[in-house]
């Protein structure tokens, strides 16, 4: 036979178990009515009911309103203000809100890439010897092609100008033109058929 080792529980575990058991027993006793309820709650609940008649007796009698003396005079009639004329909204009228300069990347034709590849290949061929010369030629051609393409893009870059307007009805619009505009922020303009004109 094997001897069983005695189990020892920590004192806090035992204390917690006793506390939970006592709390549960008190709760069950309260639910079944085995524990009397306190009388303090019942007395306070009845107190307002008894004090209601006393409050009603203490109320002052209502004061009757005095009659208002009426005058035979008619008050002066104030004419209503004239209707305000609302100006019609001009659908073409606008205000310049912003003028923005934008660089537009140029289109490449491939000539820059070809020229760069040739120059890069020639320079790469001058470097090294044997297999290194071949590798340098290929790398020079690739690098030259990329550089030539970028140089062509930069050479063909153009500027355009975006003009943002806000119409009188609250809508907004944007117009683009290739030349610097003469408009400044806050200028009042008219937009007729997509063309910005001075408002006269």
Q: Based on C-alpha coordinates, what's the Rg of the chain?
A: 48
The residue assigned the tokens 């307002």 is: 48
- Residues 119, 116: Cα–Cα separation, whole Å: 5
Please check whether residues 99 and 29 belong to one and the same domain. Answer: no
Please check whether residues 39 and 137 belong to one and the same domain. Answer: no
Look at residue 38 and tell me if it is in a domain: yes
Look at residue 6 and tell me if it is in a domain: no
Below-50 pLDDT ranges, the chain: 1, 42-45
Please check whether residues 100 and 181 belong to one and the same domain. Answer: yes
Look at residue 20 and tell me if it is in a domain: yes
pLDDT of res. 95: 92
pLDDT digits (tens, 9 = 90+) for 4-41: 667 788 999 899 999 999 999 988 988 888 887 766 55
pLDDT digits (tens, 9 = 90+) for 80-99: 888 877 777 888 899 999 99
Closest CA to 36 of 44, 26, 21: 26
33: left (phi over 0), alpha (psi -120 to 50) or beta: left
pLDDT of res. 19: 93
Element housing 175 (H / E): strand 172-177
Number of domains in the chain: 3
Other CB atoms within a 10 A radius of the CB of residue 116 amount to 23
What number of CA atoms fall less than 13 Å from residue 153's CA on the CB side?
10
* pTM summary value: 0.41
- Residues 143, 122: Cα–Cα separation, whole Å: 12
Work out the mean pLDDT of the chain and round it to a whole number.
Answer: 77
Look at residue 79 and tell me if it is in a domain: no
- Residues 159, 179: Cα–Cα separation, whole Å: 8
Domain that holds residue 169: 89-105+158-200
């Amino acid at each position: 036979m094997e001897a069983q080792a005695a189990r020892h529980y920590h004192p806090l575990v035992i204390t917690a178990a006793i506390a939970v058991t006592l709390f549960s027993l008190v709760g069950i006793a309260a639910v079944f009515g085995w524990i009397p309820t306190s009388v303090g709650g019942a007395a306070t609940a009845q107190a307002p009911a008894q004090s209601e008649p006393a409050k009603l007796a203490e109320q002052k009698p209502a004061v009757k309103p005095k009659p208002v003396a009426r005058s035979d005079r008619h008050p002066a009639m104030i004419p209503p203000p004239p209707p305000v004329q609302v100006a019609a909204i001009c659908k073409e009228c606008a205000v310049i809100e912003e003028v923005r300069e934008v660089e537009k990347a140029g289109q490449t034709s491939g000539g820059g890439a070809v020229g760069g590849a040739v120059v890069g290949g020639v320079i790469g061929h001058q470097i090294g010897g044997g297999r290194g010369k071949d590798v340098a030629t290929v790398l020079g051609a690739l690098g030259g092609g990329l550089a030539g393409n970028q140089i062509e893009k930069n050479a063909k870059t153009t500027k355009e100008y975006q003009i943002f307007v806000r119409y009188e009805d609250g809508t907004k619009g944007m117009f683009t033109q290739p030349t610097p505009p003469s408009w400044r922020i806050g200028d009042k303009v008219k937009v007729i058929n997509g063309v910005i004109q001075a408002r006269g």
